[in-house]
Structure formats: structure tokens, C-alpha cells
Chain A
């Protein structure tokens, strides 16, 4: 299970890097979304995902690796909220760019800027 998730993380990072390098702002935005989600999965992995019991001390004392660590899950929740705010902001930023330049292609935007400077 862990190995599978590690492979998934690698794949998703590759995908998001490809999207982040794109000239098209909407793709870049999706790259950001996928990247932040993947990092959250990595955090989840750090706290063991395969533990089957809730993290309470029960009568039968289990070995530590039977539990999932709840703290990483709390951290992921925080990270998700923050990433959500950031994504919302970038979405608005992209919209502003589209309104101002009538395109979301970075090359065309830079060309437009150059023309204005001259």
C-alpha cells in the first residue's frame, strides 16, 4: 500500500511539474492544485496510512505501527485550508490577467507588456 502511494506521489509530482511549466495559465493553475495535493499525500504517508485502529490507548496495548498518527492528519487539514486559500487567490489572479490582457498565454502577455513599455 505504501509503495503504491509512493509511486502515485511520484507520478502526480511529474504531472504537476509538467503542468506548472506550461505557458497557459489555466494549466499552471491545475499544476498548483495537483502539486499541493500531492504534498499533502506525502505528509499523510509520513504518519502511516495503513494503521487499522484509531489512535486511542485501549486495553489491549498494540504495537505503535498498528495506529495511524493523527497529528499528520491534523497538519494536512491545516495545509489543505491554506492551499485552498492560495488556489482561490491564484484563480482570481488568473481571471484578472484574462480581463486585463484578454489572454491567459504567458508569451502573449509578455509581448503585450513589452509593447506598452515602448
Chain B
């Protein structure tokens, strides 16, 4: 059992080592990368399967038991997120085979790519607050480097914003860890669940949790802390942008859900704050997208707006709403990664990221058009695609719990999302292309079809969710039941011992 738990972890780490050892041998490195992503995905599926059988599993690293040692804890939610990030890694890894040039490889792209995954898996599995901080730093440093690798002049400004805001975020988190440790004398999350609730000083507890929530809100790009996202993501290369949009902000969402359900469950004050912030995030994000004409910037603004929906589900805080938020997260990871990959392919063909200068893809590249249609209109929430179900669930959750205003805002945002996706569709696919003599038909390569393969996988996953939402949502309900009963988590970690 414990081998299965630690397997995704080990695979990431050994791939970092192997790709570093084969730094100069680019072909061999790509081969190792490809095999590792497949094995990684397989191990994540195995983990999900095992956790389904035995609920919450833990490993005490180094044999030190809770609450003293650092524990790796995998419950349904972590296992699901590990599976999703392994899936995204596998698909983006396939895309990277055609996208990453030899030059980038010689700069050490693949070791960093896997270091990022290593950090992601660590953050998803750890049961210790300080350890979470360390994993976030691992993720952060590798994402900094991935963001500016190859350093074009245009990447620097976005990278500066990204670095400074994320640096502050982790420092807030560290400060909160200091405060919490001073208050309770423990950093084990299950132990904190017991101790924070009965603390003598509830004001200080709320303050430190707000600091943590602030740090994770920056990572998840919540209002008003989202400005770093659109200025950084659109400058990164295709693979990096896809992996960032698919995984990184969603780790912030994961950490927020984990904090709000485990560390300080059902804190009305913070949840109200989050609900307000989520509503504003949805609105500002989509308004930003409406005025954009840069392909990737537009999609980046949509990430912000969609994160708003997820946090809205969390802030409503009913079992149904949290299940809907997790469903939304899963749907969004798939769709957003696909949109970013397709936008990279289209930009590569058209040699510009200004959608006013692109056009006519519907005639010339019908496969791209079909794949883009599925993802874009799933994002916009058109039935029968997965986005429709996830928006419907969130909307239902809001109405059932009496948040009518928020539900109306969500609907209006959905409409604007549809408008801006329509804009993309008309501009890039339907419009007759502006005369561009410098474009020859360079799409008939093998690499073109190879780069479309990951998009096909993602689009078929979207379709699978679209046509069979019920079994998936049933699982999400189980996940949210487990999240809303933190005593199960505490019991699994402490194994009956009370401190």
C-alpha cells in the first residue's frame, strides 16, 4: 500500500535526476520524458484506485508518527487532484515533444518541468503546514525559471510581477505558520484541526488563517490579487503556458479548499469574504477577457473568471456546492489546457497572437476548428458540454443555499464568457483571413498531427464528462462528504491517538 502511495512522488523525483543526467543528449532525454509521463499517469491511476478502496491512507515519513513527524496523507480529494495533474502532465508532455526546441532543452527545460511536477505532487500529498510551504517553494522556483527560460525581452516584465507577488505570498504563508506554531505548538494539519477550534485566542487564529487564505488567493489568482496572471502567462511558451494554466492556479484552489475544510472548518467570516472575492473575480476576469484581442491574454483572463466559480462553490460551503466546485475544477483543468494548447498551435501557424490578424482556420484547419469548438463552447457553458453541467451545478448550489445575487452574477458572467468565446470563434475561425503573403501552408507536417494528438485526448475527455456527468458527480459528492467531515481525516492521521 505505502509503495503505491509514494510512487508518483518517486517517479517525479527520479525523472528529475534522469533528465538532468541526460542534459546534453536531447533525444534520449525526450524518450525518458515520454516514458516517465506515461508511468506517472499510470501510478496516479493506481493511487486513485487504491484510495477508492481504503479511504484515507497515510505514510509517516521516516517513521515519526503524527503529530510529530511529517505525514503524507492521501484522501479522495488529493488522489483526484494527483490523477488530474498527472493526466495534464502526460498530455502536455506529449505536446512538448513537438514544441520544445533543442535550444530550450539545452537550457534544462525538462528537469525543471519535472521539478514543477514534483512540487505539485508534494503540495497535494503533504499533511503538514510547513512542509506545504516547502513544496510551494519548490513549485514556485521551478515555475519562475520555466516562465523566463529562453529569456525574450517581452518575458521579463511579466516575470518581475510574477516573482514579486508570489514571493510575498509565500512570505505571508510563512508568517502565518509562525503565528500558528506560536499559538498551538504543532503544524500537523489534522492536529491543528483539533487545536485551533478550542484555541483561547480566536482572533489570532482567524488572523493567521486569513494570512494563509491570502497567500493561496494570490496563487489561485483571486480578486484583487490576479494581475500577475495575464501579464505573465501569455509570454511563456506553449508547453509552459498549458501546464501553468492547467495545474498551477488549481493548486491554489486545492490549497484553499483544504484550508477552509480542514484547518478552520466553516468559518463564516472568511467564507463571506471569499464569496465576495469570488463574485468579483468572476466579473472582473470576464470583463478583462471581453476587451482583449491577444489570443493567450484572453484565455488567461478566462482562467481568472473560472477560478471565481470554483471559489464560489467553496464559499457557499454545502456538500453539494463543494462537490460542484470540484467538478468545475476537473472540467476546467481539461478544457483550459486544451484551449491553451490549441491557441499555441494556431499562433504557431499564423505567426501572430493578435486574433484580428488571424482568420479562416475553419476552412483550412478543420481539425483544429472542431477541437477548439468542443473546448471553447464547453468553457462557455453551452449544453451538452461539460461546462454546462458544471455551471448548472454551481448555479443550483447557489440558489438552494439562498445566494440569489451571486447566482445572477454567475449567469451574467456565463453570458459574457459565451460572448468572448464567440469573438474568438468568429475572429480566428470564420472570418476571411486578412491577406498575408508570408504564410505558406506549413501544416502538412508529421509534427502538426503529433501536436494535435494531445488536444484530441483532452477533447475526448471533455466529451466523456459531457455525456456521462452523473457517475463523475457521484464521486465528487463522495469527495466533498469526506472533505466536510474532517474528523475522518484527523482519525486517519492520528490513528485513534488523542493528544
Binding site for B on A (CB under 8 A): 20, 25, 28, 32, 35-36, 39, 42-43, 45-47, 69, 71-72, 75, 78-79, 82, 85-86, 89-90, 93, 96-97, 100-101, 106, 109-110, 113, 116
Is there contact, CB below 8 Å, between B137 and A39?
no
Nearest CB of A to B334, in Å: 32
Is there contact, CB below 8 Å, between B178 and A42?
yes
Closest to A109 in B: B157
Is there contact, CB below 8 Å, between B175 and A39?
yes
Please choose the segment from B163-171, B402-410, B479-487 that sits at the chain A interface, where 4 or more of its residues have CB less than 8 A away.
Answer: B163-171
Nearest CB of B to A81, in Å: 10
Nearest CB of A to B69, in Å: 12
Bound complex: CA A36 to CA B170 (Å): 10
Closest to B68 in A: A71
B168: chain A residues at CB < 8 Å are: 20, 35
Mark interface residues in B136-161 (1 if CB within 8 Å of A CB, else 0): 01001100110010010110110110
B177: chain A residues at CB < 8 Å are: 43, 75
Is there contact, CB below 8 Å, between B178 and A39?
yes
Closest to B173 in A: A39
Is there contact, CB below 8 Å, between B175 and A89?
no
B437 within 8 A of A: no
A42-B175, A43-B177 known; A97+B156 contact, CB < 8 A: yes
Q: List 17 A-B contacts (CB under 8 A).
A: A39-B171, A42-B179, A43-B174, A46-B178, A46-B179, A46-B182, A47-B181, A69-B185, A78-B134, A82-B141, A86-B167, A90-B164, A93-B159, A100-B153, A101-B156, A106-B160, A110-B157
Is there contact, CB below 8 Å, between A43 and B178?
yes
B140: chain A residues at CB < 8 Å are: 86
Nearest CB of A to B6, in Å: 21
Is there contact, CB below 8 Å, between A35 and B171?
yes
A39-B174, A89-B144 known; A75+B130 contact, CB < 8 A: yes
Number of A-B contacts defined by CB within 8 Å: 79
B145: chain A residues at CB < 8 Å are: 89
Closest to A31 in B: B164
Cross-interface CB contact of A97 among B137, B144, B160, cutoff 8 Å = B160
A46: chain B residues at CB < 8 Å are: 178-179, 181-182
Nearest CB of A to B218, in Å: 14
Is there contact, CB below 8 Å, between B163 and A93?
yes
Closest to A94 in B: B160
Binding site for A on B (CB under 8 A): 130, 134, 137, 140-141, 144-145, 148, 151, 153-154, 156-157, 159-160, 163-164, 167-168, 171, 174-175, 177-179, 181-182, 185
Bound complex: CA A57 to CA B171 (Å): 33
Cross-interface CB contact of B156 among A35, A42, A47, A100, cutoff 8 Å = A100
Bound complex: CA A103 to CA B157 (Å): 13
Closest to A113 in B: B157
Nearest CB of B to A71, in Å: 8
Is there contact, CB below 8 Å, between B151 and A20?
no
Closest to B166 in A: A86
B153: chain A residues at CB < 8 Å are: 100-101, 116
Bound complex: CA A97 to CA B148 (Å): 11
B185: chain A residues at CB < 8 Å are: 69
Known A-B contacts: A75-B177, A82-B137, A90-B163. Give 19 more (CB < 8 A).
Answer: A28-B164, A35-B171, A36-B171, A45-B178, A45-B182, A46-B181, A46-B182, A47-B182, A75-B181, A79-B174, A86-B141, A86-B163, A89-B145, A93-B160, A96-B148, A96-B151, A96-B156, A100-B156, A110-B157
Most buried by B among A93, A106, A110, A113: A93
Bound complex: CA A36 to CA B175 (Å): 10
Closest to A20 in B: B164
Is there contact, CB below 8 Å, between A85 and B141?
yes
Closest 3 CB pairs of A and B: A46-B182, A43-B178, A46-B178
Nearest CB of B to A107, in Å: 12
B151: chain A residues at CB < 8 Å are: 96, 100
A106: chain B residues at CB < 8 Å are: 160
Bound complex: CA A14 to CA B151 (Å): 33
B175: chain A residues at CB < 8 Å are: 39, 42-43
A69: chain B residues at CB < 8 Å are: 185
Is there contact, CB below 8 Å, between B141 and A93?
no
Is there contact, CB below 8 Å, between B157 and A93?
no
B154: chain A residues at CB < 8 Å are: 113, 116
B134: chain A residues at CB < 8 Å are: 78, 82
Nearest CB of A to B134, in Å: 7
Closest to A29 in B: B164
Bound complex: CA A1 to CA B137 (Å): 32
Closest to A43 in B: B178
A46-B179, A82-B134 known; A89+B163 contact, CB < 8 A: yes
Bound complex: CA A72 to CA B167 (Å): 20
Nearest CB of B to A7, in Å: 17
